Amino acid sequence: MKVKKVLSIKRHKQFTKDFSHAKMSEKHFGKFIVYIAKLLQSEPLPPEALDHALEGNWSGFREFHISGDLLVIYMFDEQTLNLIRLGSHSELFS
């Protein structure tokens, strides 16, 4: 049996602020928890999450969608999942 390596998680200060202001439905909060659990176990996210690498100023970071316009920006650093930002496209990229 192969044992999965579980990563640690770090919430950056801005992510914590974003999260406290986010208006997430119970359904979207559930998706968020499932997606984070998958990332912590180094599992791929489902296609509906639209997980992809970012470019330009955000090169080196990744993004996934909780819903149409609710995104999480994150990155991996050694054995840590770093949660960087949470918000809409306009909040994060304007």
Condensed to tens digits (0 to 9), the pLDDT of residues 12-56 reads 999 999 999 998 999 999 999 999 999 999 899 999 999 999 999
Residue 76: exposure state from Cβ atoms within 10 A (0-12, 13-18, ≥19)? middle
Residue 38 lies in a domain: yes
Residue 14 lies in a domain: yes
CATH number of the domain at 44, please: 3.30.2310.20
Residue 2 lies in a domain: no
If phi > 0 it is left, if psi is from -120 to 50 it is alpha, else beta; for residue 85 that is beta
Other beta carbons less than 10 A from residue 81's beta carbon: 18
CA distances from 90 to 8, 14, 66, 82, 94 (A): 29, 16, 15, 21, 5
Provide the domain count of the chain: 1
CA 76 to chain centre: 10
pTM over 0.85: yes
The catalytic residue positions are: 89
Residue 1 lies in a domain: no
Other beta carbons less than 10 A from residue 17's beta carbon: 14
Other beta carbons less than 10 A from residue 73's beta carbon: 22
Q: What percent of the chain has pLDDT over 70?
A: 94
Which domain covers residue 67, as residue numbers? 8-93
Residue 63 lies in a domain: yes
pLDDT at residue 5 greater than cutoff 90? no
- Determine the pLDDT at residue 2: 57
Residue 3 lies in a domain: no
